[in-house]
Structure formats: structure tokens, C-alpha cells
Structure 1
Amino acid sequence: MSRVVSWDLPEPAVARRQPFRFGYEVLRGIAQVDFMPNAACGVFFFAALFAAGWQYGLYGLLGTVAGTAAAYGLGVDKERIGAGLEGFNGCLVAVAFAVFLGPGHASTWALALGGALVSAVVTGALVNLLRPWSMPTFTLPFCLIASVMTIAAPGFPRVWHEGSALSALPRSAAGSPALDWDGIGHAFFANVGQIFLMPQWYVGLLFLLGIFVADLVAGLTACLGSVVGIVTAWALGAPASGVTEGLLGYNAVLVAMALGAVFLDRGAWSLGYAAVGAAASTVLTVAVTSFFAPFGGHTLTWPYILTTLFFLAAVPSFPRLRRS
């Protein structure tokens, strides 16, 4: 995929040997959550997770390291590992386990490690399944593993802890749709932070800065996606509380970046296409939340995956668009 990188950490000759190279691959791994194979971006992303809470930072580090190490152990192509493509799902899996099961339990640490290792296997399977259609794996490994965990966890007393975030199951929207300027500002950054399940505005700001460091255009499309998500949710009357927390807009950020800066050649047409996709994913976010609510699943990044999958599949029908 074509990308204009603005700035990255210099990679001295010593970093081409292990374990120094592994450190760069881990940094790129977490950065690939937002499509950036950029070590400097990874520094910002780890800083953002640690700003949200030191335990979340450690979980993110554990997941990225475990996913990358598992790929090495399984003999995955070194080019994929070097680009960080084997670490980002492990990162998201580990952070999700911490958020939904509570970060302070030994069982959560063990499950996070196991889930990150399994993500390497699921990623390998999906790479092969999607290859005939030239489709990336997106965050499918994360969504599959995290969905199984959130639905199954209440059936296992040793890992189910009362009072964890998982007990707050998704429910139908309720509340006033009125947004004030403070709420809009919070939502703008929270939309970026919620990609990592973090609602704090300052965490989202750090993530966004990391994207801008890696790629100016990608940063601008992330901003576009956040704005489209807010406007779409507000126009349809979504409760302000959900909008402000970033729960309706984070998928729009990912879709906008995927279609406007990563998987399609950049230009005015792809940017407009990305804006439409971002709006569609905001609507789909509410639909997926309602779908999972009866049996305790969570929305995660399913709306981003489904929207981007269909929008990319449609590209050959539109001569003004081209896969990068």
C-alpha cells in the first residue's frame, strides 16, 4: 500500500540485529492498529496507553510482544513481522481482556497472553482465506477472539469478576442528543482513543499525534472520520453521552483512514468515498451494538471491518477509484 511517511525513528545498523530489531517491530506492531508501520508512531501509542493507566500500557506491550514473538516462532514471513502486521491484533486482544475482565487479576493476565498468542494463528488463517480477494485481515483476529471472550466469560467463574466493565452490557440508546462545545471537543479525540477502548480525550490526542507524526494525510483523514462520526450521530439523534465518549465515532475514524489514506489511491474521489464509508459505519455501529446486546457481546471494531470490506469489494465497479 502506498503511504507518505512524514517522520520515523532512525534505525541504526545495530537495530538490524536481534533483539534491537524486535523492539522496532513491536513499536510498528502497535502502530499498525491505525495502519502505520512506523516506530515513532508506536512510541506515541504506547505513551497513550500508559497515560490511560499503567496496567493498560503493560497489557498493550504484552499483547504486541506476544503476537510478534509467536509469529517468529511459527516462521511467519519476516517482511510481515518487520512491518508490524503480526503485532497489532495481539495488542488489541490483550487490552480488550484488561478492559472487559479487569486488569488487576492474574487470570486476566494469563488470558491476555494466551489470546495474543492465539491471534497469530487466527491471523495466519485469515491471511490465507482472504488472499484470493486481495483483502487484508483488518482487525478480524481481534474481533473474533474478543467476541468469544466477552460472550463466554460469564460462564467461567475463575475469569468472571463482578464489577468488571464486561458486566456493563451494551443497551439501547437513551438520553438527550444535545451536544455542547465541550462535548464535541471531547468526542473528537475520544473517537480516536476508543479504537483502543480508551475514552479519555487526552489519550485520543496522543494517538492522533502519533498518526500525524507517521503520516500527515492519514492524520487528516482520521480527523475527517471523527468529524463525520460526530455529525452523523448528532444528525440521527444519538444520545450525547455515547457520542461524547467516542462510542459511535471510532469506527468512522478507522474507515476514513482505510479508504482515504491506506487501501485506495489518495485523491478527492477516495476522500469522498471515505467520508461516505465513515457515515455508514456510524450507523452500522448502532446496529451491531443492538445485535450483540441480547447475548453480551460488544461492538468492538466489527462495523469498521464490515464497512471497509464491502466498500473495498465495490471498488472494481468504480473506475474513479483504484486499490493502492
Structure 2
Amino acid sequence: MFVLRGVAQVVFLDSAWAGAVFGLALLTADWRYGTYAVGGAVLGTGTAHLLGVALDRVRAGLEGFNSCLTALCCAVFLDPGRLSTALLAAAACVVVTVVAAAVVRLLHLWALPALTSPYCLLAGAITVAAPAFGRIWPQGAAGAALPHAASGSTVLAPADVVAAFFRNVAQVFFLNQWHAGALLLAGLFLASRSAGWVACAGSATGILTAWALGVPAARITDGTMGYNAVLVALALCGVFLSPTAATLLYALLGAATATTITPALAHLLTPSGGHPLTWPFVLTTLGFLLAARSFPRVTGRQDPAAERPGPPTRSAAAGQPQAGRIGSG
């Protein structure tokens, strides 16, 4: 149960049933991806338990989602069939638990959630460093590359829009199959109907923003432009901010922002062999959560620190609401 919740917590769900559906979606797309993802959640959760992390965090799956994504990243960008990849993924799942504890401690000073930043830090380091290690890097695999200008048709057919809508959800787990995205979305609705609708709104916002900016249709259709929008929408409407009409609009603005900065981060990281991963989601969400403290109509209350100059004191920051999760199971 704890492990399945760790898989579900990738999209903020405290639901073992949703985690089971997510695991099924991964297995139907590629059984190796499902094995790495669930195995990563097992190792992260187990490591946290052995190190004495608070039992409520372990039971809620909060120690499993970063390790789930880290193991899955190793499978996607390295050869999942190689023993070296499996061993590296296992070691990374243990290390990311330590990284997560450090990041949680650091961001707690500003009452901010760690989100998937531990995974981004470690998985990013692995993908950049991997070509230096002959026993890890697949022979003939492409490494760093220079970014290039967008090219290709920007016309979206109705079938493209439908495929992009579901793939935006699927790409949260590195999946390219639209039916996997549909299954993941079903898992969201199973745990929380409101979360499911917010995810739908985030996916639609990602598509609309990318199309309005002239992103090639192929890039929109494969879901790589919109998955961060889905995560930002979920985070800002129902998880860290109460679900209201005001926070929904705020969350969709955040979703559009994340879509816009995704290619910026991709162009920044590509020359070193890196990938944007969920950095657009992390940076956008943290920025919008900090800004929200100055917007009473978003948070529902006035932040005293916003009324005086200078950085907030620790006591003021500690008064901010803590990270929450949706659903149960």
C-alpha cells in the first residue's frame, strides 16, 4: 500500500488505488518501465523507513515518488535491459532519499515544498554524467546536442489535439502512448474527481499555450510541451492552494507559464546532455506559491510579511500552509 501511494504521489495523490492504476498504465506501455517505477518506489520507501523517517510520511507515500521517477528516468535515458542500468537505478533511489531530506530541510525555512526537485537534481546529474562511464552509457546513444530553432507545421488536426491531451498526462511518467495517458487520467478521477478535472484543464492550457506560441504540431502532439502544465495546475489548485475559482485561474496561468519556460530550460540543458525533466513545474510552482502570499484573493488571507519591506522572518514563513495531498486509499 505504501509503495503504491509513492507512485500516486507523483501527481499528489494519497491513494493506493490510483497508484495501482498508474502502475498498470506503466506496465501496459512497457513492462520494464513499470518494473523500474514500482521498484524505485519500493527502494525509496524502504530506505526512508530504515533511516527512521517519520512513519506518517512513509505511509503517505511521500518518500516514494522521487525515487519512482529517478528509477524511471534511468530506464528511459539509459538501456533498461542492462544490469548496469538496474544497479545504477537502485543506487540512485537510495541516494535520492538522502537528497530529498536535505532539500526538504532547506525549503522548510521558507515554508515551501520540495516537490520533485530532489529527483530533478539527481536524475539531471546522472544524465549529464552518464556518457563519461562506459559501463553505463549505451553504445551509440546520442549525447549532448546544440539546440535548434523550431521547424515544421503548426497546424493541429482534431486527432492531434486529442492525442496531445492524453499524452500531456502520459509524459509525466515519460510515456508516449495516448492510451497510457487515458489510463493515468482515469486513475486521477478514481482518487479525486476535482483533481481529474484540474488535470484536464492543465493539459488543455498547455496545448492552447503551445499552439498560440507557434510550437510545431509534432512537439505539441507528443506531450513534451504540456506535462509540466498538468503538474502545475494540480499543485496550485487543490494541493497547496484551496480549490476555488480564483486559484483555478491562478493555476492555469501557472500552467501556461510552465509551458512557456519548458523550451527555455530544454535549450539551456541540451548542450550538456541534460533534460528539462520536471524543472519547469518545480520552478513555476515555487515562484507562484511565493507570490501567492501577496495575493489574499488567492490564499484567502493576508500575509503580514507582504506589508513590510525586507525578507520574511522565519516565524512568518513558518505560518504558511504546509504541503497537502489529494485523495485517500
By the TM > 0.5 criterion, same fold? yes
Q: CA deviation at 1:163?
A: 4.6
1:39-74 deviations in whole A, cap 9, x for unaligned? 000011100110111111110111000000000110
Q: Following superposition of structure 1 onto structure 2, how do residues 239-254 of structure 1 map, counting pairs within 5 Å?
A: 239-254=216-231
Structure 2 CA distance, aligned partners of 1:61 and 1:265?
A: 30
SS of the residue aligned with 1:217?
helix
Residue of structure 2 in register with 1:20 after alignment: none
CA contact 1:169–1:298 (8 Å) conserved in 2: no
Residue of structure 1 in register with 2:274 after alignment: 297
Identity of aligned residues (%): 50
> Gaps (5+ residues) in structure 1?
1-23
Residue of structure 1 in register with 2:74 after alignment: 97
CA contact 2:67–2:96 (8 Å) conserved in 1: yes
Structure 1 CA distance, aligned partners of 2:151 and 2:124?
A: 24
2:93 matches 1:116: yes
Residue of structure 1 in register with 2:241 after alignment: 264
Structure 2 CA distance, aligned partners of 1:188 and 1:196?
A: 15
Q: CA deviation at 1:127?
A: 1.2
Q: CA deviation at 1:261?
A: 1.7
Consecutive aligned runs of 4 or more in structure 1 exceeding 6 Å deviation: none
Structure 2 counterpart of 1:282, one-letter code: T
Structure 2 CA distance, aligned partners of 1:123 and 1:140?
A: 8
Bigger drift between 297-306 and 286-295 goes to: 286-295
Residue of structure 2 in register with 1:159 after alignment: 136
SS of the residue aligned with 1:113?
helix
Structure 2 CA distance, aligned partners of 1:219 and 1:163?
A: 40
Q: CA deviation at 1:204?
A: 0.7
CA contact 1:258–1:308 (8 Å) conserved in 2: yes
Residue of structure 2 in register with 1:188 after alignment: 165
CA contact 1:59–1:94 (8 Å) conserved in 2: yes
Q: Following superposition of structure 1 onto structure 2, how do residues 167-178 of structure 1 map, counting pairs within 5 Å?
A: 167=143, 171-172=147-148, 173-178=150-155
2:269 matches 1:287: no
2:51 matches 1:79: no
Structure 1 CA distance, aligned partners of 2:199 and 2:144?
A: 28
The root-mean-square deviation of aligned C-alpha atoms, in Å, is 1.3
Q: CA deviation at 1:102?
A: 1.5
CA contact 1:143–1:300 (8 Å) conserved in 2: yes
Residue of structure 2 in register with 1:133 after alignment: 110
Structure 2 counterpart of 1:49, one-letter code: L
SS of the residue aligned with 2:44?
helix
With normalisation by structure 1, the TM-score equals 0.90
Structure 2 CA distance, aligned partners of 1:271 and 1:168?
A: 38
> Gaps (5+ residues) in structure 2?
300-320, 323-329
CA contact 2:164–2:221 (8 Å) conserved in 1: yes
Structure 1 counterpart of 2:28, one-letter code: A
